Amino acid sequence: MRVLRLSLTDWRNYRTAEIEFVPGANVLAGSNGQGKTNLVEAVGYLTTLSSHRVAGDAALIRAGQDSAVIRAVVVAGDREVLAEVLLNRTGPNRAQVNRSAVRPREVTRNVSSVLFAPEDLALVRGEPSARRRFLDELLVQRTPRLAGVVADYERAVKQRNGLLRIARGGGDFGTLDIWDERLIATGAELLDARTELAAELQPYVAEQYAVLAGDDERVALAPIRSIDADGTEGTTAERFAAALAAARRRELDRGITLVGPHRDDVAITVNELPARSHASHGESWSVALALRLGSVELLRRVLPTGDPIVILDDVFAELDEKRRTRLAGQVGSYEQVLITAAVEGDIPGVLAGRVTQIRAGEIVGEVPA
């Protein structure tokens, strides 16, 4: 898969922008703060309907404007798709695929990318929410219908938390059992999908980490599920139900749902030690890279569209020369790689490709390398 052309209106610091990309490596070069990341962030948004830098959409719309538009022509195999998303400061976002109106999440079925950025250190050193988001975004890319399951589960948690808060204040919580059923139904499916994905992803991540860090280095992933804390046996749904029953008193006291996928984590170990507390800075970078590169390897084998678009956002400046070379060797064969860099010299020669200069929200020059 590759993006042929990207057009933006009132996105971040761009009033308007249009840029064409070629197969292979595409370098967006310019000083920090000029808008390089904003361009690749737009491609990533079409994949996940979210930004890797901010939690909400408001910051993505240019200051003083009510909406922003991302429009991209994407090629997957021999099929060309026009994907468009309109982000609104107030009101729901809208989307089109080939000029036909669709729900925004339908766009993600047509654009697949994997983005690696400095923020990805949070996958190793940050809070569990970063690792949950990583798994769920990859789940939806691999199996798009699970976007509905994730959304339904999040809705059930929100509704159930509202009832728990009412109950804590002395109100009626007679419908709590109904929301328990919905929580268990959607949550069990999400839990099983995450567990399966972690097992499927593990060998790819281990392989990529060995390449980046050395053959004698080992990394492993293991889901930590809150519903398994008390050792109850049975199906996932049965364990979830038992965990909710055991937590009911504490939940009523605190007014929040205390067990389920939204409370889970993924244990990442390096040489059998917890990466979050024991990995060095260099090891943490390698683990984060391996998670993303492992995702690419998984997706390129299961998606009918082939390689996802690989985005490396300001990554090479953070790596030593050895890791730069190893990373370049891993991504050099992918169908399309989008790279941002403040210093072109940071990018290994094997990734030489089209270089586009960015300055103050303007595309000022394209030079084939």
Distance CA 23, CA 2 (A): 7
- Amino acid in the structure at residue 191: L
Residue from 313, 310, 317, 336 nearest 25 by CA? 336
Strand order across the 362-368 sheet: 113-116, 309-313, 336-341, 24-29, 354-359, 362-368
Here the tokens at position 47 are 């994949």
CA dist 369 and 367 (Å) reads 6
What contacts 130, CB < 8 A, 6 or more positions away?
122, 123
Q: Give the per-residue pLDDT at 282.
A: 87
Q: Identify the structural domains of the chain with CATH numbers, from first to last.
A: 1-112+303-369 (3.40.50.300), 127-280 (1.20.1050.90)
Measured distance CA(177)–CA(51) in Å, rounded:
35
**What's the CA gap between 225 and 196, in Å, rounded?**
13
Within 10 angstroms of residue 104's Cβ, the number of other Cβ atoms is 17
What is the DSSP pairing of strand 354-359 with strand 24-29? Answer: parallel
DSSP string, 270-314: ETTEEHHHH--HHHHHHHHHHHHHHHHHHHHHH-TT-SPEEEEES
How far apart are the C-alpha atoms of 260 and 226, rounded to whole Å? Answer: 6
Find out whether 247 and 84 touch, Cβ atoms under 8 Å: no
With residue 73 as reference, give the H or E element that holds it: strand 67-76
Residue 104's SS3 state is helix
The pLDDT assigned to 321 comes to 87
Q: What is the pLDDT of residues 264-274, one digit of tens each?
A: 999 999 999 99
| Phi then psi dihedrals of residue 139, to 5 deg | -55, -50
Spatial neighbors of 213 by CB under 8 A, at least 6 apart, are 283, 286, 290
What are the backbone dihedrals phi and psi of residue 63, each rounded to the nearest 5 degrees, phi first?
A: -55, 130
Q: Which two tokens stand for residue 350?
A: 């094997």
pLDDT score of 350:
85
Residue-level pLDDT at 367: 54
What pLDDT, on the 0 to 100 scale, is given for residue 173?
A: 67
Measured CA distances, 140 to 137, 154, 237, 316 (Å): 5, 14, 21, 28
pLDDT at 172: 67
134-186 pLDDT, tens digit per residue, is 999 999 999 989 999 999 999 999 999 999 998 887 766 678 888 999 999 99
> Both tokens of residue 347?
């990018």
Which pLDDT belongs to residue 366? 65
200: number of CA atoms within 13 Å, CB side?
Answer: 17
How many other C-beta atoms can be found within 10 angstroms of the C-beta atom of residue 192? 13
Q: Measured between alpha carbons, how far apart are the two ends of the chain, in Å? A: 22
Whether residue 250 contacts residue 258, with contact meaning beta carbons closer than 8 Å, is answered with yes
Predicted confidence pLDDT, tens digits, the chain (369 residues): 999 999 999 999 999 999 999 999 999 998 888 899 999 999 999 999 999 899 899 999 999 999 999 999 999 888 999 999 999 999 999 999 999 999 999 999 899 999 999 899 999 999 999 999 999 999 999 998 999 999 999 999 999 999 999 888 776 667 888 899 999 999 999 999 999 999 999 999 999 999 888 777 899 999 999 999 888 889 999 999 999 999 999 999 999 999 999 999 999 999 999 999 999 988 999 999 999 999 999 999 998 888 999 999 998 888 888 888 889 988 988 999 999 999 888 888 888 778 899 988 888 876 554
The predicted structure's pLDDT at residue 96: 97
